[in-house]
C-alpha cells in the first residue's frame, strides 16, 4: 500500500506529506495530533460568562480585520453562532492569521474567554478550521462522517495549506490506514499487562479517534514508554557490549607524583565527596576496562583537584593526560592552576589553543608526540586531526555540557582507549543525565570545602544603585574585589541594555581610587591573560566583564558579584556567575540588578536565586522553566530526540523504562526467547542507529 493508493492523496499532496516526513502509510499512522477539540463540550457563545474560563466554541467567521497602529496593531476575527459573538484577537503572527482566516469560514476557537465591556474576547485562541476547500476550491465539511466527539487537530505547514490538506482529511486518511494495515505488537505481553497498556494497533486508534481523554492518555503514555524503553535497552546493551567490554589501560597503585601531591603539596584536607570520587576513579582504572565517568559537582566543590589526582595516576603509570575546556580563558585558567600545582613536582604542563604562533605550535606538537608533555590543557583544538599523542591514557573534559557526544568520541579516539572523565559544574537533572550521559557512570561531589560561607544573594532595583555602590566601596576599602558582569559587549539597537564597554567607563569614573579592568571575549588571549593576572594579584580591584568569566575563573579574594540586567540571564548561568565568588574566607555577595520590566519567568528565576544556592535545585528549576533543549543547547549537547516523550514531564516514565529494560536484559541478555522475536526485529536496527549516536562500533 502506497500513499497514492489512499483516496484523496494526489501527487501534489503526496509531496506535501513528504515535506512533513510522511513517506508511507505507516508514517501517516504515526503522525500524531498536536491537540484535540472536544466537541462533546462545545458551548454556545451566548452561554459564556467571560470570567476567564477555557472553552471550545464553533461558528462562522463574521469578520476578519486589522485594527490599531504601531505596537497596538492587532488582528480581530469575530466568530458568530446563532446565540452570540466572540472576538479572537492576535497581537503576533498577524500576516499568517490574516491569510489563514477568511470571512464566512466555519471554525472552532479554543482558549480563555474574557469580557471587556460589551465584548467577549479570546487572546490568541487555538483555531481549527471546520471547513476547507477541496482541489477545486469548493467548501467541504470535515463533519460529513457525523463525528462529533473528540476531534484531533494535526500540525500543518505551508505545503499542507497549498494543497488543502486539513485536519479532517488527515484524520480520514489515517483511519483508512488503520482499517487496512496491521501494526505488529513488539512490547512483551507480560510488560503490557504489568503496565496496563493497550496493544499497539489499539493504541493508534485511541490516539487518532479517542472516545475519552482517558483513552488518549493511556495510548500516548504507551508510545512514550515504547520509545523510552527502546532507548534504555540500547543504553544498557551498549554499556555492556561496548563500553564495559572495552579494554582499558590498567594503571598501577599510587606512585610518587600522586603521593607527593596529596601528602606534601596540597595544603588542605580533601572533602568526603572528593575522596569518594577519587576512589571511583581508582577502581575504574585498575579494572582493566575503559573508564567512562561523569563527575558532577557544584561550583567551588573542588572537581579540579579530583581531575589532578586522575591525571597524576596516569602519569605515575607512564601515560599522558589531556584536559579539554570549552573556552580559551578557561583553558588558560586551568593551565596556570595546574602549572602552579604541578611544576614543582617536575610535571610538564602544556597549553594548546587556537591561533598560537607557528614556532610555539610546532614545539607543542613535538612535545606532545614525543611524550615529554605530561599533561596537555586546551580547547577543542586538542581534537584536531594533526594532534598526535605519544601515549594518551587519561582524557578529561571540563564543562561537559558545552560539548557534545561527538567531541567526547573524538577525544576517545586520540589514544588507545584512554580513560574518560567528564566534569560538569552545571548540575544535570536526573532525567537528562539518564539520556545525555547514559553511557557514563556517575560520581557526585555534594559537599563544599570546609570554611566556605554561603553566598548571600539579593535582587536589587535601579533605584538601589547608590546603596550598591556604597556597599562596593566598603568592601573595596576592606580589601575585597568585585566582579561586574554585563550581557553585551557593544551597544545593541534592538535591546536597551548597558554594555560592558560603557559600563567600564562608568565604573571607572564612579570608583576613581580603585583600578578597574575590562574583560570580554573579543580580546586576544594575551590581553585576557594580562587582565586576569592583574585581577588575580589584586592589582585590578574591579573587573567589568561579559560572561566570559562564567566558568572556571578562581579568585579567592573576590567577594562581590554584581550582575547587570540579571533578568536577561538563565538560572544556570546566574548560578555559574555567582560561583565566581565565595572561594575564600570572606563573606561573599551576589547582587542581581534587575530591570524595571520583567516577565513572570524572569521574576521566578531571580526569586529562585535568592532562595537557594543548591546547584541541583537550581538546575531542576531551570529545566522546568526552559525545557531540555534550551537548558543544554540541543545542537551542542547531542541530546537524543524523542518523538513523543518529554524529558521534562516524563521523568518517572523514563525511570520505569530503565528499570524494565535492565530487568529484561538480565533475564535474556540477547533477547533470544521466541516471545521476544518481534522486539528483537525492531531493536536490532534501533541499536545500530544508537551506536552511530554514541559513535561506538
pLDDT digits (tens, 9 = 90+) for 312-324: 999 999 999 999 9
> 213 pLDDT exceeds 60?
yes
- Per-residue pLDDT band for 136 (boundaries 50, 70, 90) equals very low
| Eight-state DSSP code of residue 350 | E
Q: Tell me what pLDDT residue 147 has.
A: 41
At residue 431 the predicted structure's pLDDT band, cuts being 50, 70 and 90, is low
* pLDDT of 635: 39
Q: What is the pLDDT of residue 540?
A: 94
Number of Cβ atoms within 10 Å of the Cβ of 600: 7
Would you say residue 640 has pLDDT above 80?
no
pLDDT band at 135 (very low <50, low <70, confident <90, very high): very low
* 638 confidence band (pLDDT: 50, 70, 90): very low
**Closest-CA residue to 663 (of 185, 241, 187, 191):** 191
> Which of 91-100, 113-122, 657-666: highest mean pLDDT?
657-666
What is the structure's pLDDT at 191?
95
Tell me the pLDDT tens digit for each residue of 541-571: 999 998 777 555 678 889 999 999 999 888 8
Per-residue model confidence as pLDDT tens digits over 659-686: 999 999 999 999 999 999 999 999 999 9
The mean per-residue pLDDT over the stretch 492-516 comes to 80
* Cα–Cα separations (whole angstroms), residue 574 to 40, 426, 557, 626: 47, 11, 20, 14
Burial class (CB within 10 angstroms; exposed 0-12, middle 13-18, buried 19+) of 95: exposed
What is the arithmetic mean of pLDDT over 637-659?
A: 78
Confidence of residue 385 (pLDDT cuts 50, 70, 90): confident
pLDDT at 353 over 60: yes
Residue 5 above 60 pLDDT? yes
Lowest pLDDT segment from 243-252, 425-434, 625-634, 641-650:
625-634
Torsion angle of the four alpha carbons 88, 92, 98, 100, in this order, in degrees rounded to the nearest 10:
-80
Gap between the Cα atoms of 684 and 682, Å rounded:
6
636 has a pLDDT exceeding 60: no
Mean pLDDT calculated for residue range 304-312:
93
Residue labelled with grid coordinates 494543497: 163
Q: pLDDT tens across 257-302, in order?
A: 888 888 888 888 889 999 999 999 999 999 888 888 989 887 778 8
Please state the length of the chain: 697
- Average pLDDT estimate for 320-345: 88
Residue with cell 486539513: 166
The region of weakest confidence among 72-81, 243-252, 612-621, 684-693 is: 243-252
Residue 30: pLDDT over 80: yes
Structure confidence at residue 627 (pLDDT): 61
By C-alpha distance, which of 25, 20, 3 is closest to 159?
Answer: 20
Residue in the structure block whose three cell numbers are 538563565: 570
Question: Residue 168 has which C-alpha cell?
Answer: 479532517
Higher pLDDT, 638 or 314: 314
Say what percent of the chain tops pLDDT 70: 87
Residue 494 has pLDDT above 50, yes or no: no
478 pLDDT above the threshold of 80: yes
Per-residue pLDDT for 184 more than 80?
yes
The string of DSSP codes covering 551-570 is SS---TTEEEEEETTGGGS-
Place 404 in a pLDDT band, splitting at 50, 70 and 90.
low
What mean pLDDT do residues 211-236 have? 92
Q: Is the pLDDT of residue 140 over 70?
A: no
Mean pLDDT of the chain: 84
| Contact present, 285 and 461 (Cβ < 8 Å) | no
- Rounded Cα distance between 109 and 84, Å, is 14
pLDDT of residue 561: 95
Could you tell me if 306 and 456 are in contact, meaning their C-beta atoms sit under 8 angstroms apart? no
Q: What are the angstrom distances between the C-alpha of 407 and each of 245, 361, 382, 420, 541?
A: 22, 22, 10, 12, 38
Q: What is the pLDDT of residue 553?
A: 65
Q: What is the pLDDT of residue 133?
A: 39
Sheet of 375-378, strands arranged across: 349-352, 375-378, 320-324, 392-397, 419-424, 292-297, 441-445
Q: What is the pLDDT of residue 254?
A: 54
Q: Which helix (H) or strand (E) holds 384?
A: none
The better pLDDT of the pair 470, 255 is held by: 470
The residue that leads in pLDDT, 449 or 63, is 63
693 pLDDT higher than 70: no
Amino acid at each position: 500500500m502506497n500513499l497514492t493508493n489512499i483516496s484523496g492523496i494526489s501527487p501534489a499532496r503526496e509531496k506535501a506529506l513528504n515535506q512533513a516526513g510522511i513517506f508511507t502509510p505507516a508514517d501517516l499512522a504515526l503522525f500524531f495530533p498536536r491537540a484535540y477539540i472536544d466537541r462533546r463540550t462545545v458551548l454556545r457563545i451566548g452561554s459564556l460568562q467571560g470570567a476567564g474560563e477555557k472553552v471550545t466554541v464553533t461558528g462562522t467567521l463574521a469578520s476578519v480585520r486589522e485594527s490599531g497602529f504601531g505596537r497596538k496593531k492587532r488582528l480581530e476575527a469575530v466568530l458568530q453562532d446563532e446565540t452570540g459573538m466572540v472576538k479572537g484577537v492576535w497581537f503576533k503572527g498577524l500576516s499568517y492569521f490574516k491569510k489563514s482566516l477568511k470571512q464566512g469560514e466555519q471554525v472552532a476557537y479554543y482558549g480563555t474567554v474574557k469580557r471587556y465591556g460589551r465584548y467577549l474576547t479570546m487572546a490568541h485562541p487555538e483555531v481549527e478550521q471546520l471547513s476547507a476547500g477541496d482541489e477545486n476550491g469548493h467548501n467541504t465539511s470535515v463533519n460529513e462522517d457525523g463525528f462529533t466527539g473528540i476531534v484531533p487537530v494535526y500540525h500543518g505547514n505551508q505545503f499542507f495549506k497549498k494543497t488543502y490538506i486539513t485536519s479532517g482529511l488527515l484524520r480520514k486518511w489515517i483511519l483508512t490506514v488503520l482499517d487496512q494495515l496491521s501494526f505488529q505488537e513488539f512490547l512483551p505481553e507480560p510488560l503490557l499487562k504489568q503496565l496496563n497498556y493497550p496493544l499497539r494497533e489499539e493504541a493508534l486508534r485511541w490516539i487518532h479517534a479517542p472516545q475519552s481523554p482517558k483513552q488518549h492518555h493511556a495510548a500516548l503514555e504507551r508510545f512514550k514508554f515504547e520509545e523510552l524503553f527502546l532507548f534504555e535497552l540500547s543504553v544498557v546493551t551498549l554499556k555492556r557490549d561496548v563500553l564495559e567490554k572495552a579494554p582499558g589501560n590498567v594503571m598501577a597503585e599510587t606512585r610518587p607524583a600522586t603521593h607527593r601531591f596529596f601528602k606534601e603539596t596540597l595544603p588542605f584536607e580533601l572533602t568526603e565527596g572528593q575522596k569518594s570520587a577519587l576512589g571511583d576513579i581508582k577502581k575504574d582504572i585498575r579494572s582493566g576496562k575503559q573508564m567512562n565517568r561523569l563527575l558532577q559537582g557544584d561550583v567551588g566543590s573542588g572537581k579540579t583537584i579530583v581531575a589532578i589526582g586522575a591525571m597524576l595516576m596516569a602519569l605515575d603509570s607512564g601515560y599522558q593526560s589531556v584536559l579539554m575546556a570549552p573556552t580559551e580563558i578557561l583553558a588558560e585558567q586551568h593551565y596556570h592552576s595546574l602549572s602552579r600545582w604541578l611544576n614543582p613536582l617536575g610535571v610538564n604542563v602544556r597549553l594548546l589553543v587556537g591561533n598560537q604562533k607557528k614556532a610555539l605550535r610546532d614545539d607543542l606538537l613535538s612535545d606532545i608526540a614525543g611524550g615529554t608533555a605530561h599533561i596537555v590543557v586546551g580547547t577543542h583544538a586538542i581534537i584536531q586531526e594533526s594532534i598526535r599523542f605519544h601515549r594518551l591514557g587519561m582524557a578529561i573534559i571540563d564543562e561537559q555540557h558545552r560539548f557534545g557526544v561527538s567531541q567526547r568520541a573524538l577525544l576517545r579516539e586520540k589514544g588507545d582507549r584512554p580513560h574518560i572523565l567528564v566534569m560538569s559544574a552545571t548540575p544535570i537533572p536526573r532525567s537528562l543525565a539518564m539520556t545525555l550521559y547514559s553511557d557514563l557512570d556517575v560520581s557526585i561531589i555534594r559537599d563544599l570545602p570546609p570554611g566556605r560561607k554561603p553566598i548571600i544573594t539579593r535582587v536589587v532595583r535601579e533605584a538601589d544603585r547608590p546603596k550598591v555602590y556604597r556597599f562596593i566601596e566598603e568592601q573595596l576599602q576592606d580589601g575585597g574585589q568585585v566582579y561586574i558582569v554585563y550581557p553585551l559587549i557593544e551597544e545593541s539597537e534592538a535591546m536597551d541594555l548597558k554594555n560592558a564597554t560603557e559600563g567600564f567607563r562608568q565604573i571607572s569614573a564612579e570608583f576613581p581610587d580603585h583600578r578597574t579592568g575590562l574583560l570580554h571575549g573579543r580580546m586576544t588571549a594575551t590581553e585576557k591573560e594580562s587582565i586576569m593576572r592583574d585581577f588575580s594579584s589584586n592589582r585590578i580591584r574591579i573587573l567589568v566583564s561579559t560572561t566570559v568569566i562564567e566558568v572556571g575563573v578562581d579568585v579567592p579574594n573576590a567577594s562581590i558579584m554584581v550582575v547587570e540586567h540579571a533578568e536577561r540571564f538563565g538560572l544556570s548561568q546566574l548560578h555559574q556567575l555567582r560561583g565566581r565568588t565565595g572561594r575564600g574566607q570572606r563573606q561573599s555577595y551576589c547582587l542581581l540588578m534587575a530591570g524595571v520590566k520583567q516577565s513572570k519567568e524572569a521574576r521566578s528565576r531571580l526569586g529562585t536565586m535568592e532562595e537557594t544556592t543548591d546547584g541541583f535545585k537550581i538546575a531542576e528549576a531551570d529545566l522546568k522553566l526552559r525545557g531540555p533543549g534550551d537548558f543544554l543547547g540541543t545542537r551542542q549537547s547531542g541530546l537524543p530526540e524523542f518523538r513523543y516523550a518529554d524529558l521534562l514531564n516524563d521523568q518517572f516514565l523514563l525511570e520505569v523504562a530503565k528499570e524494565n529494560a535492565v530487568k529484561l536484559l538480565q533475564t535474556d541478555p540477547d533477547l533470544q526467547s521466541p516471545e521476544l522475536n518481534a522486539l528483537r526485529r525492531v531493536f536490532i536496527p534501533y541499536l545500530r542507529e544508537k551506536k552511530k549516536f554514541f559513535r561506538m562500533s
